[in-house]
Amino acid sequence: MKYTVVEASNDTEFGLKAKAAFYAAIDGLSMPNVVLPTGETPRPFYQALRDDGSKPAFTYVQLDEYLGLAESDPRLFAAWLARDVLDPLDIKIRLTFNSAAEPEQEVRRMRDRLAVHGPIDIAVLGIGSNGHIGFNEPGSSFDHGVRIVDLAVETIAANKAYWPQSGTSFPAQAFTLGLADLKAARQTILLVRGEGKAEILRRALLGEITPDVPGSYLQRQKGLTIVADTAALSAMKL
């Protein structure tokens, strides 16, 4: 396994180093297909992109989305990404899931669009504490494409924490790109921040390659860059 690790000692540095890795990945490509994650981890990266002021041109491909939320729901991942990065960067072409659409049709629509627009050029990803990538929860086959998934209990809890005010009801299903789609990415940038991710990062990169740890598919991935803070890398250095 060959990958590049970029270490950051604080959030500001993390954001700047993630931005540098991203710009290096898109350099010279014309309208690459780019996957971007939501979550806490990429916040400094998106801050750095906004602060930079330049407007890189790419096609945004949505990684995952809750199923069954109304178009105006602020919890939609598409809305989150729009606020944090796509609107500020003026990204016009967005291949997003329609959360409110008939689910099976929506899966087919996204599969068709991926087939037409070509594979992902750059997948920027986070990793869940249970090793999930996108919403490919433990047990996900490495060979699945776009599909509907049941969210793991710990993922629902982690996602509720993004929206403490939203009460007890929270989507239990989601759309996700599959690991087969992500494996096809020409370049992958994994963002990892915080001590809470140290053990799962170690398992994903140094443990057994198994669907029980979806992120372990990365061990076979070519063109992998890991941007992580010192805390997230702590278990790799034991």
Q: d(Cα 96, Cα 64) in Å, to the nearest integer?
A: 9
Q: Give catalytic status of residue 144 as yes or no.
A: no
Q: d(Cα 112, Cα 200) in Å, to the nearest integer?
A: 33
Does residue 63 bind ligand F6R (CB under 6 A)?
Answer: yes
Q: d(Cα 191, Cα 43) in Å, to the nearest integer?
A: 10
Q: d(Cα 30, Cα 151) in Å, to the nearest integer?
A: 35
Which C-beta is closer to ligand F6R: that of 53 or that of 85?
Answer: 85
Residues of this chain, 101-160, that bind ligand F6R according to CB under 6 A? 126-128, 132-134
H and E: helices and strands count for the chain: 7, 10
User: Shortest Cβ distance from residue 42 to ligand F6R (Å)?
Assistant: 7
Q: Give catalytic status of residue 130 as yes or no.
A: yes
Does residue 64 bind ligand F6R (CB under 6 A)?
Answer: yes
Q: End-to-end distance of the chain based on CA atoms, in angstroms?
A: 19
User: Shortest Cβ distance from residue 235 to ligand F6R (Å)?
Assistant: 16
Q: d(Cα 207, Cα 216) in Å, to the nearest integer?
A: 7
Q: d(Cα 111, Cα 114) in Å, to the nearest integer?
A: 5
Q: d(Cα 59, Cα 91) in Å, to the nearest integer?
A: 7
Residues of this chain, 9-38, that bind ligand F6R according to CB under 6 A? 37-38
Does residue 214 bind ligand F6R (CB under 6 A)?
Answer: no
Judge contact between 99 and 76, C-beta under 8 A.
Answer: yes
Q: Give catalytic status of residue 64 as yes or no.
A: yes
Could you say which of 39, 56, 88, 207 contacts ligand F6R (CB under 6 A)? 39
Catalytic residue of the set 65, 84, 121, 132: 132
Could you say which of 18, 25, 35, 41 contacts ligand F6R (CB under 6 A)? 41
Does residue 97 bind ligand F6R (CB under 6 A)?
Answer: no
Binding site for ligand F6R (CB under 6 A): 37-41, 63-64, 77, 126-128, 132-134
State the catalytic residues.
64, 130, 132, 137
